[in-house]
Amino acid sequence: MTGIILDSVLMLLLVAALGYGIRLERKLAALREGQLAFAGAVAELNTAASRAEMALSALRSSGQDADILHDRIIKGRALKAELEGLIARGPGRIAPVAAPAPVAPPEPVPVRRAEPVEAEAAPIKKQLAGLLEALAANQAAKQSLNRARASLDADLFAA
């Protein structure tokens, strides 16, 4: 009789241990799934951090481009002011033409020597070339800045 009771108690303990083992296995499976999800989140965070790092470097580059652009704009304004001064000091101003009117044949114009005109025009040509170069550089910097902004927006909103 005591043998049957001890066998029954032993069977109950084995059933309880089996139930506890099943419950423990389920918890371990949930823990493994959580660990995999956490690893995926860490990988996504790492990718987002690298994208943010690239965006920051692009932003720094854009800032440097903006500084260069600002310097070129200042130089262009100075050249423009200098050109306006040279034009104001010029031998004659060109008046805007409203509409072409019938004109009598022009009188012959006395021929001037070309040397003084070319000597006066050389500095103006140099300044005009500098101004055109500054404007072209300004346009190129604007395009570069716009490309960097578009890339930054795409990187920031892609995440």
The C-alpha atoms of residue 110 and residue 88 are separated, in whole angstroms, by 24
**pLDDT tens sequence for the chain (159 residues):** 889 999 999 999 999 999 999 999 999 999 999 999 999 999 999 999 999 999 888 888 888 888 888 888 888 888 888 888 888 887 655 554 455 555 556 566 565 554 555 556 677 777 777 778 888 888 887 887 778 777 777 766 665
Q: Closest Cα to residue 78, out of 66, 86, 67, 90?
A: 86
The C-alpha atoms of residue 129 and residue 135 are separated, in whole angstroms, by 10
- For residue 94, give the DSSP letter: P
Q: Which two tokens stand for residue 2?
A: 């005591």
The structure's pTM equals 0.37
Domains of the chain, by residue range, sit at 7-88+118-158
The C-alpha atoms of residue 153 and residue 122 are separated, in whole angstroms, by 46
pLDDT of residue 68: 87
